[in-house]
Amino acid sequence: MLALEDLKVHFDVSRRRRERLVVKAVDGVTLRLRKGEAFGLVGESGSGKSTIGKAALHLVPITGGRLVIAGEDLTRLDRAAEKKLRRTAQMIFQDPHSALNPRMTIMRSVAEPLVLHTAIRGAALTSRVAELLEIVGLSRQFLYRYPHELSGGQKQRVCIARAIALEPALLILDEPTSALDVSVQSQILEFLKKLQADLGLTYLFISHNLAVVRYLCRRVAVMYLGVIVEEGETEAVFENPRHPYTQALLKAVPYPQAVQPDRGPPLQGDIPSPVDLPPGCRFHQRCPAAIPGVCDIVVPPEVRSGDTMVRCHLFTAADPGH
Ligand SMILES: Nc1ncnc2c1ncn2[C@@H]1O[C@H](COP(=O)(O)OP(=O)(O)OP(=O)(O)O)[C@@H](O)[C@H]1O
Ligand code: SF4
Ligand SMILES: [Mg+2]
């Protein structure tokens, strides 16, 4: 459904300085999502998760690599690719408050993509919008209300209704519940899980909340400073994390069941700047298992086996440290 091949998104932030400054937000990411699966993407703030989601919809320019959606190469955004993309993939953002135009009724907001991309008008349009609201658990009474009359959870449901209006096959959900009250977060998650099953949707679910990803996603990728460091079945990754970064990330989770006594220290220090990337393994300055003379010099290769991937010298075939 979605394939990213060696995807790169670099932002030039030099401005008027003499030297060239480039933020390598996404720096060679390969991901493949099967049709109908929920795939989680986790990592610390600034690791490049949102940039991947936006690049898949061409909301940021792609610097390198390939983007394939539903079997079609959409790396270059010409007219045909754009049309295909708008109908196949949609994104749901973190903040439903700013995602809706405060001066537009819910009817107009949800109808907008239908008006832009289909010939549905008049009574048929109203009933289609009412039907979409019903799918997300809102009654017809909401049709002529304005965003300020809705709660955060209701607004996020409206955003979801609008995102599924054109019956996309792929939804990119970027922290869809983190701006909501804790009490409604689980309702929305439960609803998203049901929606995915009912409509056979493919999800790229972006979150820094590991528990949420565990609840919703069958597979997960862990991102650090622009690269994927580990990938696999969610349960396997959570039960037996291999990459030292994944281990540290799990250790940092404030849920007692995720903390294992033998997993080394939690994350230390700050994530380095993506403008000035560390040499060798990007995690070496913070890694408790770093091999001196290797991890600070040699970039660890991806080691793939079936559905799993780990990018760490501890798992390279010719174990350099021992
Ligand atoms: N338009 C942009 N111009 C310059 N730098 C950017 C731009 N968008 C993102 N970045 C930088 O790219 C890096 C990755 O950002 P991104 O928003 O993808 O991270 P994230 O993993 O989604 O983080 P968070 O969990 O905080 O949402 C950050 O260092 C960010 O500052
Ligand atoms: S490659 Fe080295 S520094 Fe990087 S995670 Fe593995 S052990 Fe740690
Ligand atoms: Mg983000």
What residue owns the CA closest to ligand 1's atom 29?
46
- Cα-to-centroid distance, 26 and ligand 1 (Å): 9
- Cα-to-centroid distance, 276 and ligand 2 (Å): 18
What residue owns the CA closest to ligand 1's atom 30?
46
Ligand 1 within 6 A of 21 CB? Answer: no
- Cα-to-centroid distance, 303 and ligand 2 (Å): 13
CATH architecture of the domain formed by 2-242: 3-Layer(aba) Sandwich (3.40)
Q: Would you state the pLDDT for residue 267?
A: 78
Q: Where are the domains of the chain?
A: 2-242
Q: Would you state the pLDDT for residue 317?
A: 61
The pLDDT tens digits for 9-46 are 999 998 876 788 999 999 999 999 999 999 999 999 99
Q: How far is CA 301 from CA 25, 48, 137, 138, 174, in A?
A: 19, 19, 46, 48, 28
Q: Would you state the pLDDT for residue 239?
A: 96
Q: What global pTM score does this model have? A: 0.93
Binding-site residues, ligand 2, Cβ < 6 A: 243-244, 281, 283-284, 287, 289-291, 295, 300, 312-314
The pLDDT tens digits for 41-81 are 999 999 999 999 999 999 999 999 999 999 999 999 999 99
The pLDDT tens digits for 116-131 are 999 999 999 999 999 9
3-class secondary structure, 69: strand
Buried b / exposed e along 108-132 (16+ C-beta atoms within 10 A): ebbbebbeeeeebeeeebeebbbeb
Task: Give the position, in ligand 2's atom list, of the atom nearest the Cα of 296.
Answer: 3
How many helices (H) and strands (E) would you count in the chain?
A: 10, 12
- Averaged pLDDT, 285-301: 96
Q: Look at residue 301 and tell me whether its pLDDT is greater than 50.
A: yes
What residue owns the CA closest to ligand 2's atom 8?
290
The pLDDT tens digits for 226-266 are 999 999 999 999 999 999 999 999 987 655 444 444 445 56
